[in-house]
Structure 1
């Protein structure tokens, strides 16, 4: 067992994450197993990982140098899930799904804290090679454990669709992927249009990578200008005029100047408020230019 660099990993997560933290490699004869630790953002106990195992000539023959092959069964998968994701009840999906390497199975569920967890398993093995090679002896086992506090089940499932197997077997007889697939049968045939977006032939059934969190835009608060209306100003009230009697030019006297010139009357009503129409302006004491000497001193 040893720790190897990330560039020597036998499998990679899809673009966009989750990121590779470290790679632990175990070798047993001709078999190679790697546990690729992935970044984890969850309160569930354990580490996200992508575990891949390359098995050569499998079987009970001790001379082969490989371990016997363990078939995938319900009991094996239940034991693996309980060890990888403790305390979370996972429900297996009954829907048939497959990625670029063939069919796979998965189970998903949520923890008490609301984290989404997924456990997927896949076995990559070709059926039979050409007759001169007899059969394909190689096999690849894949296990993926993912728990995330923010991602949904669909986003976690995109990792199972988008991961890439980087390793391979040296001999053609050990090739677990089988012969390369030919071109699409619709190519070159009349009546089979092919569109630029490659739909509906190679459209991915699910988006790859985690979706970014939605950005919440704060609403713009527009403040209306406050218009202050000017209040109407009332004219200041002038105090009533008091003083000595002022003679008028026609020889009369101001009717308001009674009672010894005190400006008040014992029997009359109080004088009206001073306005421009009833305001009396007193004459000067002496006007020498006109020769009027009334009141001159």
Structure 2
């Protein structure tokens, strides 16, 4: 039911379950994550007339009636999942997601989306709703790289079904990414980077220290000598 980008990982298996009103596929993906879970996409495609109350029917619940943050924490219970506060959308309309990091340092994304039923101009339902769930954990990916998987996915047979809205919000074929003042906005803080090890500076060769001269204590200053003046000798007067 989906065409995925190469970044999502190789498809290992697909388990399809049929209901009276819908078809569900579990698409299992390859992963190099050390997390105990399995990467996957779950897709539920409902028929044009999808009565959930009939026996053997799959219930179609609007996202507004679900605790999606709790669903993310319960599904990815091996990571500290945080609900994203950012508005994002892919070619099929808005979607939500949570991000979390495992004890081994892997980054996990749990995303959800409901593509509204396709209606004819007269109001009739031509195609039922489509529900998506995605769980992707990776060892070396950033949040932006995991979100790119949601932006790049394609639903087979669906070309774009978002309802008309303002130019920037709700228009299909336009990608909106979480942005912040420094570019792509992350839900989780960046992991601490290991400090770089610097080589110790080579020791400066020590200069030989010369013994300092002993201080000379000033001795007693000799008294000034009487000035000796040489001149003519005057004889004493005679009687």
Q: TM-score scaled by structure 1?
A: 0.50
> How many residues end up aligned between the 2 structures?
170
- Structure 1 residues 129 and 104: CA distance shift in structure 2, 3 A: same
Pair 72,202 (structure 1): closer, same or farther in 2 beyond 3 Å: closer
Displacement of 1:112 = 1.5
Alpha-carbon distance in 2 for matches of 1:141, 1:71 = 9
Pairing 1:113-132 to 2, within 5 Å after superposition: 113-126=104-117, 128-131=119-122
5+ residue gaps, structure 1, are 1-9, 169-174, 185-200, 207-297
Alignment-derived partner of residue 154 in structure 2: 164
Tell me the CA shift for residue 81 of structure 1. 1.9
Structure having the higher strand fraction is: 2
State the Cα distance separating 1:78 from its structure 2 match.
Answer: 3.8
Give the 5 Å matches for 1:204-215: none
Q: CA deviation at 1:89?
A: 1.4
Tell me the SS of whatever aligns to 1:69. Answer: coil
Decide which structure has the larger Cα Rg and report it: 1
Residue of structure 1 in register with 2:89 after alignment: 98
Q: CA deviation at 1:104?
A: 0.3
Q: Deviations over 1:251-294 (max 9, x none)?
A: xxxxxxxxxxxxxxxxxxxxxxxxxxxxxxxxxxxxxxxxxxxx
Partners of 1:203 and 1:109 in 2: CA distance:
23
Query: Structure 2: any 5+ residue segments left out of the alignment?
Result: 168-172, 179-239
What is the match of residue 130 of structure 2? Answer: 140
Aligned partners of 2:51 and 2:21: how far apart in 1?
12
Contact 1:125 1:176 in 2 (8 A): no
- The aligned counterpart of 2:54 is 62
Return the offset for 1:73: 4.3
**SS of aligned partner of 1:40:** coil
Deviations 1:149-186 (A, max 9, x none): 11111111110110111146xxxxxx99379x9xx9xx
Greater RCO (Cα-Cα under 8 Å, separation 6 or more): 2
Matches within 5 A, 1:199-278: none
Aligned partner (choices 140, 143, 154) of residue 153 of structure 1: 143
Normalised by the size of structure 2, how large is the TM-score?
0.61
Task: From the superposition, tell whether residues 83 and 17 of structure 1 become closer, same or farther in structure 2 (CA, over 3 Å).
Answer: same
- 2:4 aligns with 13
Please provide the CA RMSD for this pair.
Answer: 3.1
